[in-house]
Structure 1
Amino acid sequence: MTAASRKPLQIAITTGEPAGVGPELTAQALAAAAAHWPDAQFTVLGDAGLLEARAKAVGVDWAHLTGGTRVRVAHRPLAVAAQAGKLDAANGRYVLGLLDDAIDGAVAGTFDAIVTAPLQKSTINDAGVPFTGHTEYLAERTRTPRVVMMLAGTGARPLRVALATTHLPLKDVSAALTIDGLLETLAIIDHDLRRDFGLPVPRILVTGLNPHAGENGYLGHEEIDVISPALKLAAERGIDARGPYPADTLFQPRYLEGADCVLAMFHDQGLPVLKYATFGEGVNITLGLPIIRTSVDHGTALDLAGTGRADAGSLIAAIDAAVSMARNRRGA
C-alpha cells in the first residue's frame, strides 16, 4: 500500500476542563497547524457550543475549520454552562466522559491516537469520582498493569525524561521502587522507543534515588539494593540502560549526548529539569499502553482561559508526537 492510498490517521483530541484553556488551545492548534499533518484527520471531543464560543473568543473561524473533512466535532453536552476561569464540579463527569469516549474509540481501533488537553483533577474528585490523574486513569481503563509517564521536548535530539514513580508522596517513593518494577519500566521504555519512535537500540540513562547516587551506601542503599540489580538484569535482556547516575549532574549536555531517555526515580527529580528546558513545547506521553496517548506539559491555566493569551505550542507538539507515533506504529 502506498502512502497516498493509506487511510488517514484518526487522531482524537479531548478538550479537557471546560473552564480552562483546553477548548481554545484545541481550536488554535488546529487552525495554526492542521496542514502540517496531511495524513491525519481530527476528532475533537467536547461540547459543540462551548468549542465554537471559545474559538470565536480567540479569533478562530470554527465553522470554516470544521467545515471540511479534516476536523470534526464529537459532541458531548456540558452538564451546566461553563464560564472561563470558573470551575464547576457539575462538569466533572463531563470531563471524564470525554476521556472515556477517546479511550473506548482508541481501544476499538476507531482512533489511531488520542491527545488530551489538560483537566482539573479537583473538579472530577469534587464530582464524587476518585481521580489521581490521566496516567493512572488510562492504565485502569485499559487494564494495563504498568504504564510509564514520559515527558519529551522537541527537535532533532529531544530530551526525554521517564519516571519510575509518578504521583506519590515523597516519603513513599523508596518503598515503591523494586527490582522487578524497575526492570519492567525499563522494558516498557525500551520497547516503546523502538516501536513508536523508530529508535533501533535506545540508550537509557538512569538516575539514583539519593544524593550522589547514594555515595556507595553512605547516603542510602536503594542504588545498591534495587537500582543496580535492575540494571544488571536489563542488560541481560538486551536493554541498554546505564547508571545509576547522580541526578544533580546527569542533566548536562556532555552526559546526555547520545542518550535517548533519562529514567528518573520520582516526579520532581526529573521533571523540573525538563520543564525548565522545554516548557510550553513539551509533550507528556504515556508509555506501555495498548493505545497511543500524548498530552500537554501544562495545566488548565484558569487565569488565561478565554483571554487568547495562552500558548498552543505544547498542544501542537503533543499532536505532532501523536501523529508521528501513529505513523511508526502503523508502519511497524
Structure 2
Amino acid sequence: MSSRPTIAVTMGDAAGVGPEVVVQSLLDPAVAGLADLLVIGDAGRLRLAADLLGVDADIRAVASPAEAQYLPGRIAVVDLGLIPDDLPFGRLSPVAGDAAYQYVRVAGELAITGRVQAICTAPLNKEALHAAGHRYPGHTELLAALTGTEEVSMMLSTPKVKVIHVTTHIGLIDAIARIDPPLVERTVRRGHRAMVDAGIPCPRIAVCAINPHAGENGLFGRGEEAEKIVPAITVLQADGIDARGPVPADTAFFLAGRGDYDLVVAMYHDQGHGPVKVLGLEAGVNITVGLPVIRTSVDHGTAFDIAGKGIADPGSMKEALRQAVQLAPTAADA
C-alpha cells in the first residue's frame, strides 16, 4: 500500500470553472507529486477542459480508487457519466447541479469508508444545486448531512489570516438571532482544535464583536456582545483557551494580519469573507471543521462569466490540495 494519502477531488459544477482548475492543478508536477489525486467527476468534461486549455492530459476512467494509477500527465477519474457532451459552459443547469451533488456524495462515501483520506472540492453552484432538488446552502451543509454531522464550521485559511465562522449561509438578521453563547463557545473550540491539529499548541484567538466598535459600551446595538459573546469567552478562558474579545472586527483583522492572532472568529459570513477575499482568492482555502473527514475547498465560485474560456486561475485549487494533503493521514495510517 502506498504511504501517500489519496485525495478525492470533486469536479464541481461542470458548467463552471471546476473542470478547468482541476485539470490544471492535477497536471502540475508540484501538486501531483504530493499525493494520489483521484477526481470524482466526468471524464468527458475533463477532456473537454484539457482541450480548451490546450494541454495534453491522459484522462483515465476508473471504477474505484484501487484501480487508479497515478503517473505523470495522467488524471484518474471515477467517471459518473452524468454530463451530456453538449452541456454549455457558463449557464445554470439542473443537470450540472445534480452531478455536482453526486460527486460530493461519492467522495463522502469513499472518505467515510477510508478508501480516500481527504476530500478537496471544486466549486458548485448553489442555485443549480437547488434546481436539481438538493436543498443545501453549500458544500459545508451538504457534507454535514452526508456524514451525519450535527454541526460544523467553515474556516477560511490564507497565509496571513485564518478565520472561522459562527454563522455562514443565512441572512444577517437571522445570523444575529442565531448567535448565542453555546454556539460561540462550540465554534471557538472547533477552531482551537483545528489550530492545535495544525501544529499551533496554544493558538491566540480573536473573537469578533457583532456591532461596530464592539458596541462602544452600549452606544451601538442592543448589548449583543455582553449577552451573546462575553459568557462564552469567560468559559473558554477558564478552560485555558486563549480567546480574547469581543474585538471590533476592523481591529481584529488588522491585528491578525500583522501576526498578533492565529485565528479570528467571525460572527457572520461577510464579516469573515470580506477581509479574506481582499487578500486575494488565489491564496484562500475553505476548510470544513468538525466533520469526521478532512475537507478543503477553493475559496471562489463557479465563475460562469469566464467558464469554458481556458483562463481560470487554478491557484486556490492548488493551495486547497496542498492543505488537504497536510491535514490528511497517510493511507497506511488511515
Instruction: Give the TM-score, by structure 1 length.
Output: 0.91
Give 1:188 shift.
0.7
**Aligned residue for 1:84?**
89
Amino acid of the residue matched to residue 214 of structure 2? A
Say if 2:165 and 2:268, in contact at 8 Å, map to a contact too. Answer: yes
1:127-176 CA distances to partner (integer Å, 9 max, x unpaired)?
2221211111111111112111111113xxx3111111001111112211
Cα distance in 1 for residues equivalent to 2:114 and 2:331: 13
Structure 2 equivalent of residue 192 of structure 1: 194
Quote how far apart the aligned CAs of 1:42 are. 0.8
Q: CA deviation at 1:59?
A: 1.9
Task: Name the CA shift for 1:308/1:65 in 2 (closer, same or farther; >3 Å).
Answer: farther
- Residue number among 260, 265, 268 corresponding to 1:266 in the alignment: 268
Which one is further off, 89-98 or 321-330? 321-330
Structure 1 residue corresponding to 2:135, chosen from 102, 127, 130: 130
- Which residue of structure 2 aligns with residue 12 of structure 1? 8
Task: Compute the displacement of 1:76 (Å).
Answer: 0.6
Q: Which residue of 2 aligns with 1:210?
A: 211
Equivalent residue number for residue 44 of structure 1: 39
CA distance in 1, matches of 2:332, 2:177: 38
1:170: which partner in 2? 172
TM-score normalised to structure 2 length:
0.91
Superposed CA RMSD in Å reads 2.2
Distance, in Å, in 1 between the alignment partners of 2:36 and 2:257 is 39
Count of matched residue pairs: 323
Structure 1 residue 6: Cα displacement: 5.8
- Report the counterpart of residue 237 of structure 2 in structure 1: 235
| Residues 40-189 of structure 1 mapped to structure 2, 5 A cutoff | 40-63=35-58, 69-70=70-71, 71-81=75-85, 82-154=87-159, 158-189=160-191
- Separation in 1, partners of 2:268, 2:331: 29
Q: 1:24 aligns with which of 20, 27, 36?
A: 20
Q: What CA distance in whole angstroms lies between the structure 1 residues aligned with 2:79 and 2:261?
A: 42
Task: Please state whether the residue corresponding to 1:29 is helix, strand or coil.
Answer: helix
Deviation larger for 249-258 or 90-99 = 249-258
Distance 1:30-1:105 versus aligned 2 partners, 3 A rule: same
Amino acid across the alignment from 1:45? I
Cα shift readout 1:60-96 (whole Å, capped 9, x = no counterpart): 2111799952441110112533222122213322111
The 1-side partners of 2:59 and 2:129 are apart by 33
Distance verdict in 2 for CA 1:198–1:329, change over 3 Å: farther
Identity between Structure 1 and Structure 2 (%) = 41
Deviation beyond 3 Å, 4+ runs, structure 1 = 34-39, 64-68, 253-256, 327-332
- For the 8 Å contact 2:34–2:322, the answer to whether it is kept is no
Structure 2 gaps of 5+ residues are 62-67
Cα distance in 2, alignment partners of residues 126 and 18 from structure 1: 15
One-letter identity of the residue aligned with 1:29: S
Between stretches 162-171 and 69-78, larger displacement belongs to: 69-78
Q: What are structure 1's unaligned runs of at least 5 residues? A: none
Whichever residue aligns with residue 283 of structure 1, its letter is V
Which residue of the partner structure matches residue 300 of structure 1?
302
Aligned-residue offset at 1:13: 0.4
| CA–CA distance in structure 2, aligned partners of residues 181 and 331 of structure 1 | 33
- 1:34-70, CA deviations, whole angstroms, 9 ceiling, x for partnerless residues? 4345351011111111111111210221117999524
Does residue 223 (structure 1) correspond to residue 219 (structure 2)? The answer is: no
Range that drifts further, 14-23 or 257-266 = 257-266
Task: Assess, with a 3 A threshold, how the Cα gap between structure 1 residues 111 and 64 changes in structure 2: closer, same or farther.
Answer: closer
In structure 2, the CA distance between the partners of 1:331 and 1:91, relative to structure 1 (3 Å rule), is closer
Q: Secondary structure at the match of 1:263?
A: strand
Q: Provide Cα deviations, 1:84-143, integer angstroms capped at 9, x if missing partner.
A: 212221332211100000111111111111010001111121122212111111111111
Cα deviation 1:264-294 (Å, max 9, x = unaligned): 1111112111110132221011111111111
Deviations 1:178-211 (A, max 9, x none): 111111111111112112x111111111110011
